[in-house]
Chains A and B, each alone.
Chain A
């Protein structure tokens, strides 16, 4: 298909039959002109292909502290794009993902957004995984008036500062805290400490969860932080070992979580650990931290282990089957759905808008209803009046690891 297309293109461009074309090419090889000719052909074909696709910019951390999570999200995004293209694309055109690495670095995330908008001319973005990364991108969205679907970030600030280009499908930490509120009595929490990543995500979570706990009469003890690139948390964990709290709420992504569980076990820390944020990928924790993961609890936003219990079992089963078919690590499934839902949300808005233009897509995002893997995606207004951001209300689940197996706790 591809090859015949290319041949047709070449035939028309040079106005020659294919056999004549080959002869010409042979001649060109002899005269050492092949390289510029190929470069020209590739350039022309590339240009021609560009006009036939609709682009979505993907701004994710593929290297640095959040590389694992960002890669999972991008793989999920690819599944969504392939599924949409297999069904004929959007508005009669193929969907093309322009994927860029923001290196887990806010400065890079802003630069990547600028590049995607100005150079690749994408009409809508998805990104940027971390709260600090998304917050760094937000002024660029205002500057270029381009909407972005936020698939992972959970800092409250993102949807409350008055950026009308933000449409978030992940739960802010206040929603996570509210969902968790229902189970704190059952868990008999008395006093909790926090160990959170030292950025907008971690500090935001500590704030929202502390507020909820205080309302429930639970004492909040130490709030310890760690740098996003830190690999040794022994000092923080030693301090937490010595406090009189019985539970530690931990917020960070999977790579750091694995290290925390290992180091906590090495220090003989026997407190209950509950993680938040939905970037835990528990299977990876079990694989890398082993027995140290037993007894830990995690607030997640997807249940790939129990597709029948998700709001959209059929789509979930399709997604998991597709994920496995591609040979991806099952562990990543828990996070990758964000990329899948994010791209389907952006694509639905483009379809609804009827054209791939930022302003039309932004308007259409308010009117769509997508059957997401974690509940219906419908945007409600959030933030200061007149410049509201969109916020969808996803589900939150609590799971527990026992003997290396994942079980569900009812919230």
Chain B
């Protein structure tokens, strides 16, 4: 029983970060309809910003987090302005190829700058875990869960309760009508991509210190993010959050009770099942945006 409780705690901690990865991508992939292959690199970027700010500039850990988010936002805006804006209206294959190119170029750039050897970030949290009866969890991971939850709520409110969110939803539903209603469509495109990117960078900045930081760290994260988005239904923020927890639960219980060798396969088995029986995702709505 205590082992099962521990698995559940692990699932909560892991699921929070998966959800964060998922909502960033669902904004871009689900709402903007851009197959964003740079999501994983932006995750890596956030982690490296954390490393630079904490270890090379000597800034406080908690101050470094918002800096990483801002850096991710800026990089996202640059990618949108230089790569996606000129391609808007071109077919999905062209955009996809450009994004794959950007992914490879950025990953090689990270390798060139920081090398292939993993880096780790020291955190201000105590090494001794929080013990609650039979289960224990590290303080760092609790903090990551809380921060992820906060970011998820903020994103949800931004999309559903603000004027910007309203304009975003309108733009990606019907660009022409939105434009006629006075929405600055160009600005919406850039800000949506930048927000999605900053969420990826935030996930990297939070998880980098938990794990280790290396140029290819984003690859597996991106694959999982795509899986979560498909699981939750494209463009559905609540779906992406639930998808993140479902994937974490499948991995945790799969590794604990079936076979640890197939840990990563468990999540993908669920996705195959979802695609067969409910191809629009578990939580797809008739109106897809938001």
A-B contact pairs, 23 of them (CB 8 A): A63-B216, A67-B118, A68-B117, A71-B116, A198-B261, A224-B260, A225-B259, A226-B260, A226-B263, A229-B216, A229-B220, A235-B251, A235-B254, A236-B260, A241-B3, A242-B3, A258-B120, A259-B212, A265-B127, A265-B129, A266-B129, A267-B136, A290-B127
A292 to B129, CA, bound (A): 11
B138 within 8 A of A: yes
B14 / chain A contacts, CB cutoff of 8 Å: 232, 234
Check if B137 sits within 8 Å of A266, measured CB to CB: yes
Interface size on A, residues (CB 8 A): 36
B255 within 8 A of A: yes
Interface residues of A in 24-76 (CB under 8 A from B): 62-64, 67-68, 70-71
Check if A235 sits within 8 Å of B263, measured CB to CB: yes
A227 within 8 A of B: yes
B215 / chain A contacts, CB cutoff of 8 Å: 63
B: interface residue count bin: 35 or more
Closest to A259 in B: B211
Interface residues of A in 318-370 (CB under 8 A from B): none
A315 to B118, CA, bound (A): 30
CB of A330 to closest CB in B, whole Å: 15
CB of B247 to closest CB in A, whole Å: 12
A268 within 8 A of B: yes
Check if B10 sits within 8 Å of A235, measured CB to CB: yes
A230 to B111, CA, bound (A): 19
A367 to B220, CA, bound (A): 47
CB of B290 to closest CB in A, whole Å: 31
A288 within 8 A of B: yes
A68 / chain B contacts, CB cutoff of 8 Å: 117-118
Q: Mark A202-224, 1 if CB is under 8 A from B, else 0.
A: 00000000000000000000001
B115 / chain A contacts, CB cutoff of 8 Å: 67, 71
Check if A225 sits within 8 Å of B261, measured CB to CB: yes
A238 within 8 A of B: yes
From A227, A238, A258, give the contact of B10 (CB < 8 A): A238
A262 to B141, CA, bound (A): 12
B39 within 8 A of A: no
From A71, A225, A292, give the contact of B127 (CB < 8 A): A292
Closest to A66 in B: B116
Closest to B137 in A: A266
Closest to A290 in B: B127
CB of A266 to closest CB in B, whole Å: 3
B254 / chain A contacts, CB cutoff of 8 Å: 235
A198 to B13, CA, bound (A): 24
Q: Mark B18-33, 1 if CB is under 8 A from A, else 0.
A: 0000000000000000
